[in-house]
Structure 1
Amino acid sequence: MTKKRLTWVDVTKGFLMILVVIGHYPGELDFPLAKYIYWFHMPAFFILSGLFFKPVVEKGLMKAAIHKRFMQLIVPYLFFLVSITLIRYGMEIGSGNLDISWYLNDLWALAVGGRFIRGAYGVFWFVTTLFFTYLFFLWLTKTFNRRKQFVLLAIFYLIAHFESIVAMHVIGGKPSEAAQSIPMLWNLDVALMAVVYFAVGYYLKDMWMNVTKRWLVAGLVVSMTAILLDSMGVIDYRLSMKFLRYDHFILDLAIPLSFTIVLVGLFQRFTTRTSLSWLQKVEQHSLSIMYLHILMDKLLNDYFTYGLIGYTAIGVFIPIIVSILIKHLLPNGKLLLGGFSPKKETNPMPT
């Protein structure tokens, strides 16, 4: 049973990573696919992350847990941040850009991170947000009982929506520009919303591990109803965690959860009939795909013409090749790709 569960989780994450690539396609799509992808794909990652969260009760283990997560998330973050920046700066210098102030301003934006870095760094916000989300939830589960945890999560949810109201309606304008009017290091404030999705994965673990037919049907009904109402113009729902856009207090939970239930429920059933090993391979290299797919397009789109399928193929397969090369050719390549695992302490045999 454990093996099957791991299979469907890997397959689901692999599929979600492909959706991440598709969601960043710079061209126009006839079907509002990108809009619907953004309804659920990032919340789904936080839900699946929360699914495997393990509370740390013993005080002495807290430091080790944080260190492990830091090595798995922040070390690869810094590696890809520096690597992509060196490539960008090499191209800028090659094109004749010797403006020191431009590089200083760019370095400042990279240090702040989150929603303040765009272009090739478009997905970097997710990793820092996930790291802080983990820290928030670790603190919650260690410090408070279950009832107080729910109260604090509700408060976080309210604060996140209040911030969204300020950004989208008080400041106004384009969501990306409005969100950038609120200063925040590494999108730490987005963790207020992300931790709620993370908690849903953790608290409803039994449901996620075995999405019953009843749950699947309910998820399908809510998901299809939302799409129908949106296509008819009854609602115009949007969700952008990166840019603090949370449009509806109820739908911000109902829609992402229903779509994730459908996705998980279907892949749990698919993986009992077929391996879908190619999606597992995508998941194995998901870190490189996430960090590099936008960069690949920026490096190649001046030389090749391709549509959505070509963009997706380039954004998936080239980063996989790069991931394999990093793992086998660079010192500590596995560590740079998030493959950190703490050494297990061994007790000496009594003599």
Structure 2
Amino acid sequence: MNTDFHTNDIQHNTNKASTKRIEFVDLAKGFCICLVVLLHVFGESAGNTFNTLNLFRMPLYFILSGLFFKQYSGFQEFFKKKTNKLLIPFLFTYFIICIPSIILLSKSSLNLSCFWSCTDLKLQLGIDGAVWFLMCLFFQNIIFSILYSINQKMSFIFTSSGVIGIGGYALNIANIHLPLWIDSAMTALPFFLFGYCIRKYSQILFTGITKKQILYLLISILILIATSLYNDFANTTIIVYGVNHFNVNPLCLYLGGITGFYIIFMFAKFIKRLPIFSYIGRYSIVVLLTHLLYLFIIRNILYKIGVNQELFMVNVCIFIFIILLSIPTIYLCIRFLPYWFAQKDLIK
């Protein structure tokens, strides 16, 4: 792919004539989107668990996108593909969900600041605060594609991506924000690079689980535990890609993301397929763009009837209900709104 969020682009193969999907990749995406929903439901009340999972829940998608990077016939076609798969779903969600929710929930007179924050140069997203990821991933693909077009030598791509990533992290330190989540795309670019390198230098997608991969898995678990413990001890646990805000050491940030990805990836490779998780992973863009709307509605209903939403089991039930609700939502969206959820190309 480019594993955008959508999955018709995920026709993974070693033979160009093959159209068979790699099921464990959908499963890995299913695990990841469930983590996104889970952490949005529980928030920071999950404590250290939240901090550990937060290290890799978004990097997993950045790495998958790099893992399936493809330049197509040139930059123009690449740009068109990314527009169909990422930009159009973003614009659809922004105008159909975000702006109406901003207007409905606004308690003051509407002005430009209701839709655009002049302080951090970000679009306001209303209820659907997760939609930023599509714009971030769009620019990440564009940046990497430009680098690839300039020079395909790995020394250049590796160095340039690393410099851009550190530059994005430095913007966070300097409290400088770029519009439309370009700064977040920059900071996360090394994850995209890592995915690209996996595809280029290994056969991890197409081979069984080897002893070497098991060794890497054990090492990844140890590194992730050490990284999480260090962050907790140093009280450096802020990781918010949506606003490019981190206080985590950059080495811990990237190590945590990469090792967490590898653990989830290998776990999915071992299991191969779980019906519900694989299904929502295949169409994870739908879950991404709708789960916060459902969460908003559910929380307001529970508030109205006086349910204590701080209870652990209440939040577990909310999470399960949203995941189950995602199944018919996916069917309806891909059936009636395929162009807006990246299942068909609007721009030919």
Cα 1:259–1:208 shift into 2, 3 Å: farther
| 1:27, distance to aligned residue in structure 2 (A) | 5.7
Deviations 1:236-277 (A, max 9, x none): 344222222342131122111111111111111112xxx312
- 1:26 to partner: Cα distance: 5.2
**Secondary structure at the counterpart of residue 302 of structure 1:** helix
Distance 1:295 1:321 in 2: 15
Change in 2 beyond 3 A, CA 1:46/1:290: same
Superposition pairs of residues 320-339 of structure 1, within 5 angstroms:
320-328=327-335, 330=336, 333-339=337-343
What is the distance in 2 between the residues matched to 1:151 and 1:127?
Answer: 25
Moved >6 Å (runs of 4+) = 111-114
**Aligned-residue offset at 1:30:** 5.1
1:4-56 per-position Cα deviation (integer Å, ceiling 9, x unaligned): 97111000001100100111125663542222221111111100111111134
Matched with 1:108 is 116
Deviations 1:62-112 (A, max 9, x none): 21221111011111111111221465267459xxx6x5x425432335x99
Q: How does 1:108-147 map to 2 (within 5 A)?
A: 108-109=116-117, 115-144=122-151, 145-147=153-155
Deviation of 1:165 after TM superposition, in Å, equals 1.5
Aligned partners of 1:113 and 1:336: how far apart in 2?
28
Mapped to 2, the partners of 1:74 and 1:153 lie a distance apart of 22
Does residue 74 (structure 1) correspond to residue 78 (structure 2)? The answer is no
Q: In 2, distance between residues paired with 1:236 and 1:207?
A: 35
| Cα distance in 2 for residues equivalent to 1:44 and 1:127 | 14
Deviates more, 1:81-90 or 1:153-162: 81-90
| Partner Cα separation in structure 2 for residue 69 and residue 228 of structure 1 | 38
Amino acid at match of 1:18: C
Matched AA of 1:75: I
* Aligned residue number for residue 3 of structure 2: none
Q: Is residue 40 from structure 1 mapped to residue 56 from structure 2 by the alignment?
A: yes
Cα shift readout 1:179-207 (whole Å, capped 9, x = no counterpart): xxx44321111111222110100112216
How many angstroms apart in 1 are the aligned matches of 2:271 and 2:197? 25
1:8 aligns with 2:24: yes
Q: Which has the larger radius of gyration?
A: 1
> How many pairs align?
314
> Given the alignment of the two structures, is residue 318 of structure 1 paired with residue 331 of structure 2, yes or no?
no
CA shift at 1:225, angstroms?
2.4
CA distance 1:269–1:203, change in 2 (3 Å): same
- After superposition, residues 47-196 of structure 1 pair within 5 angstroms as 47-56=63-72, 58=73, 61-85=74-98, 87-88=100-101, 91-92=104-105, 101-102=109-110, 104-109=112-117, 115-144=122-151, 145-167=153-175, 182-196=176-190
* TM-score scaled by length of structure 1: 0.79
Aligned to 2:195: 201
Q: What 5-or-longer segments of structure 2 have no aligned partner?
A: 1-11, 14-18
1:116/1:33 Cα in 2 relative to 1: closer, same or farther (>3 Å)? farther
* Aligned twin of 2:16: none
Q: Which moved more, 1:195-204 or 1:280-289?
A: 280-289
The 3 A distance-change label for structure 1 pair 141 and 308 is: same
Higher helix share: 1
Instruction: Tell me the residue number matched to 1:21.
Output: 37
Normalised to the residue count of structure 2, the TM-score between the two structures is 0.80
Structure 1 224/284 Cα, relative in aligned 2: closer, same or farther at 3 Å? same
SS of residue in 1 equivalent to 2:71: coil
Per the alignment, do residues 89 and 343 of structure 1 end up closer, same or farther by CA in structure 2, a change over 3 Å counting? closer
Does structure 1 residue 340 correspond to structure 2 residue 331?
no
| Secondary structure of 1:336 counterpart | coil
Structure 2 counterpart of 1:175: none
CA distance 1:132–1:28, change in 2 (3 Å): closer
Would the aligned equivalents of 2:41 and 2:295 in 1 still touch at CA under 8 Å?
no
Q: Could you list the runs of 5+ residues in structure 1 that have no partner in the other structure? A: 168-181, 345-351
2:254 is aligned with 1:253: yes
